[in-house]
């Protein structure tokens, strides 16, 4: 298998390009995705290749173009919608919650809504609270949505291709600070299955579960802890919903300790859900209560120092692991 080194933004571009090339019903729409190549350059070159009928610049109206995409999906197309920030999706909340995820149910299965909603989620670099909220817990609360949050170039490409081919609405959560990361992926076509977590690092003393940008923080923490003689197993969720509880449970039965790390908030967060499910299904296997490390219960500050203090860090992850193993 031949490999190529690409930025995560290029992995996403390749995924969309490959699916558009094989299926004429796939289209991309959003603010500046055409003439400007996208705010994050993920659609670079696609307008020239596919034209304005399939690479569609929209007005600054998330509610309007999300509704347009829902209708297009119901009519047989496969729209991919880009939000400049997932925080802006709240303007289109009614279209997503009342229409996209309920049409299949309300129509008795007559309508399908093969729709991918994608864009950067969580904090970037000093973009303050109106551009930094993590939305995965919010959208995971609604039946009918698939929620994906990859961390690597391989998973961004493979999961995006799987999302576009899926017949359900998919929330695809990226992170602006990951777009420029370079990693190797195969040149040949590949897919990553939805609903399957990845054991990224095997270990024996404690399990860490994370996703998206926080996965990279955890990976560095696990590496540094290994140098100190502490063996951690690291699981990258990749799919938030449906949750791959089996992979997490299998690891916990081996390590008997679990730490969940996320950029979202503590209350009613993804970590809270995982903690409950593991406590429910693996209670007798735990040597300590499930621990969580999340964003502090405050809107994201603008100050760089306060921003870093608000979310988990490599050091705080390491300290939490040591506290659990005492």
Q: Which structure tokens are listed for 321?
A: 């692991």
Q: Where are the alpha helices (DSSP H) in the chain?
A: 8-22, 46-50, 62-74, 93-94, 103-106, 136-140, 153-165, 212-227, 245-255, 270-281, 304-310, 314-325
Distance between CA atoms of residues 177 and 163, nearest Å: 22
Nearest of 235, 222, 288, 223 to residue 257 by alpha carbon: 288
Q: What is the Cα 161 distance to its own chain's centre?
A: 14
Q: Quick one: 142 exposed, middle or buried, by C-beta within 10 A (0-12, 13-18, 19+)? A: middle
Residue in the structure block whose two tokens are 């509880």? 245
Counting Cβ atoms within 10 Å, is residue 77 exposed (0-12), middle (13-18) or buried (19+)? middle
Task: Please list the active-site residues.
Answer: 62, 131
Strand partners, 27: 79
3-class DSSP state for residue 257?
Answer: coil
Tokens of residue 178, six digits: 């990951």
What token pair was written down for 105?
A: 């149910």
Tokens found for residue 1: 């298998």
- Is there a contact between 258 and 249 (Cβ–Cβ < 8 Å)? no
């Amino acid at each position: 298998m031949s490999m190529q080194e690409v930025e995560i933004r290029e992995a996403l571009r390749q995924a969309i390009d490959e699916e558009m090339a094989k299926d004429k019903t796939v289209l991309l729409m959003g603010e500046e995705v055409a003439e400007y190549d996208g705010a994050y350059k993920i659609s670079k070159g696609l307008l020239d290749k596919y034209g304005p009928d399939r690479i569609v610049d929209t007005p600054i109206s998330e509610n309007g173009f999300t509704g347009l995409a829902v209708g297009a999906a119901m009519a047989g197309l496969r729209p991919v919608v880009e939000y400049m920030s997932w925080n802006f999706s709240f303007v289109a909340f009614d279209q997503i919650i009342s229409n996209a995820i309920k049409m299949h149910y309300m129509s008795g299965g007559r309508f399908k809504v093969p729709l991918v909603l994608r864009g950067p989620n969580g904090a970037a670099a000093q973009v303050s609270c109106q551009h930094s909220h993590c939305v995965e817990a919010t959208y995971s609360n609604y039946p009918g949505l698939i929620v994906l949050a990859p961390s690597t170039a391989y998973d961004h490409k493979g999961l995006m291709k799987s999302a576009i081919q899926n017949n359900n609405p998919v929330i695809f959560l990226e992170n602006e600070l990951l777009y420029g990361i370079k990693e190797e992926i195969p040149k040949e076509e590949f897919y990553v299955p939805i609903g399957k977590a990845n054991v990224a690092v095997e270990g024996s003393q404690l399990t860490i579960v994370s996703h998206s940008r926080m996965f990279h923080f955890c990976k560095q923490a696990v590496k540094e802890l290994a140098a100190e003689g502490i063996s951690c197993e690291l699981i990258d969720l990749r799919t938030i919903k449906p949750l791959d509880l089996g992979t997490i449970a299998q690891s916990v039965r081996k390590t008997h300790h679990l730490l969940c790390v996320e950029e979202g908030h503590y209350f009613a967060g993804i970590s809270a859900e995982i903690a409950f499910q593991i406590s429910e299904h693996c209670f007798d296997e735990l040597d300590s209560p499930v621990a969580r490390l999340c964003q502090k219960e405050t809107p994201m500050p603008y100050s760089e120092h306060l921003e870093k203090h608000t979310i988990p860090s490599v050091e705080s992850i390491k300290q939490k692991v040591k506290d659990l193993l005492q």
